[in-house]
């Protein structure tokens, strides 16, 4: 049995698959060459992340594929239902990267409220000549403790983000059309545990109450946050998108920042990946990362282990 991990696979997954008798191919094949490579090598399992697209034409052209696996949560780069209609198993790893994404959200939040993303650019350039001016420019930070975090999308990643927020001392309000309430358990190093029951409220109520918004929603046909939603938010609120590019209207975001409605934003994902709009990249009020939400060693190890376990079980 051959497994093509076209977007890479952690050593933990490779070792587990090898031990079970699978041959793992760790070659990154260009999208336009993928059909030929799969057919020439009679690949049984295709593993991807967000870069490789698995559409109907590839599914129809590659008769050897029995499993398509997505290392991560969202599967918008795979024609899932079509693949399943052809008898192909489609798997993903919904729980593996939740904590890593949540930590990135808070890396951005902590950086935003203390202007670290801007300071880290200007200190190397002007720290020796304009120290006092920079000190004054970055002296209006705020604390996250006591603020309200609004979470849009209260699935695994949204709930992992809520855990950190509660630990920091924030109030959490959440919206999810499919979840009415969730118990968030904070587990501490000494074995103590505290449970918080959070009942979801309307999207409008979240936008109106939150000091900061964090998005954890799948790809949508329309924007989740646009001009209408920015108008509902508190003046001076902040927003973080570590979910999917295209769920925020980026033009409306820039306008909201320029008009002072939004104080700052953080983006890990973009409408035009891998070529984000230049006005986003150059805006000093936006903290930026290149789609690295799940890019921790721990998350990749969990993803590799989960994928390997599912493949071995299916093919047994």
Instruction: Check: CB of residue 67 under 8 Å from CB of residue 88.
Output: yes
Residue 10: pLDDT over 90: yes
Same-domain check for residues 63 and 102: no
Alpha carbon separation from 104 to 109, 150, 268, 289 (Å, rounded): 9, 16, 9, 9
Q: Where are the beta strands (DSSP E) in the chain?
A: 2-5, 23-25, 45-48, 67-70, 89-92, 148-152, 171-175, 181-187, 193-199, 212-215, 237-241, 262-267, 286-288
Alpha carbon 299 to its chain's center: 12
Q: Is 291 one of the annotated active-site residues of the chain? A: yes
Which residues form the domain of 110? 98-288
The string of pLDDT tens digits covering residues 168-207 is 999 999 999 999 999 999 999 999 999 999 999 999 999 9
Q: Please report which confidence band the pLDDT of residue 95 belongs to, taking 50, 70 and 90 as the band edges.
A: confident
Alpha carbon separation from 210 to 131, 267, 268 (Å, rounded): 34, 18, 20
Same-domain check for residues 260 and 117: yes
Distance in angstroms (rounded) separating the CA atoms of residues 274 and 227? 24
Q: Is 204 one of the annotated active-site residues of the chain? A: no
pLDDT value at residue 316: 83
Instruction: Check: CB of residue 242 under 8 Å from CB of residue 101.
Output: yes
* CATH (domain of 54): 3.40.50.720
pTM metric for this prediction? 0.91
Q: Which residues contact 300 (CB under 8 A, 6 or more apart)?
A: 10, 71, 294
Same-domain check for residues 18 and 127: no
The string of pLDDT tens digits covering residues 242-300 is 999 999 999 999 999 999 999 999 999 999 999 999 999 999 999 999 999 999 999 99
Residue 74: pLDDT over 90: no
Instruction: Check: CB of residue 78 under 8 Å from CB of residue 48.
Output: yes
Instruction: Check: CB of residue 299 under 8 Å from CB of residue 96.
Output: yes
* Domains identified in the chain, total number: 2
pLDDT value at residue 50: 85
Q: Which of 70, 244, 271, 306 is catalytic?
A: 244
Q: Which of 114, 208, 273, 298 is catalytic?
A: 273
Q: Which of 70, 117, 156, 291 is catalytic?
A: 291
Average pLDDT, the chain: 96
Same-domain check for residues 283 and 304: no
């Amino acid at each position: 049995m051959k497994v093509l991990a076209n977007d890479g696979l952690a050593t933990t997954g490779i070792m587990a698959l090898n031990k079970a008798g699978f041959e793992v191919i760790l070659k990154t094949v260009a999208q336009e060459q993928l059909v030929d490579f799969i057919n020439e090598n009679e690949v049984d399992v295709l593993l991807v992340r967000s870069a490789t697209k698995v559409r109907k034409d590839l599914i129809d052209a590659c008769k050897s594929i029995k499993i398509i696996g997505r290392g991560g949560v969202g599967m918008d780069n795979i024609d899932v239902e079509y693949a399943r209609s052809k008898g192909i198993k489609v798997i993903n790893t919904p729980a593996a990267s939740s904590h890593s994404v949540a930590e990135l959200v808070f890396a951005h939040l902590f950086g935003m409220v203390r202007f670290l993303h801007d300071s880290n650019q200007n200190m190397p350039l002007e720290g020796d000549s304009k120290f006092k001016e920079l000190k004054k420019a970055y002296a209006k930070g705020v604390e996250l403790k006591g603020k309200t975090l609004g979470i849009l999308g209260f699935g695994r990643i949204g709930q992992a983000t809520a855990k950190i927020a509660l630990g920091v001392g924030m109030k959490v309000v959440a919206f999810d059309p499919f979840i009415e309430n969730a118990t968030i358990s904070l587990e501490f190093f000494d074995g103590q545990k505290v449970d918080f029951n959070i009942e979801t409220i309307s999207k409008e109520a979240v936008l109106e109450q939150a000091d900061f918004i964090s998005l954890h929603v799948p790809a949508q046909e329309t924007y989740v946050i646009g001009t209408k939603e920015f108008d509902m938010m508190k003046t001076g609120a902040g927003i973080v998108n570590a979910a999917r590019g295209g769920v925020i209207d980026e033009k409306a975001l820039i306008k909201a920042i320029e008009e002072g409605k939004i104080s700052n934003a953080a983006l890990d994902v973009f409408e035009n990946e891998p070529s984000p709009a230049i006005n986003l990249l150059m805006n000093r009020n936006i903290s930026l990362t290149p789609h690295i939400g799940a890019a921790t060693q721990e998350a990749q190890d969990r993803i590799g282990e989960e994928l390997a376990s599912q493949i071995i079980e299916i093919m047994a």
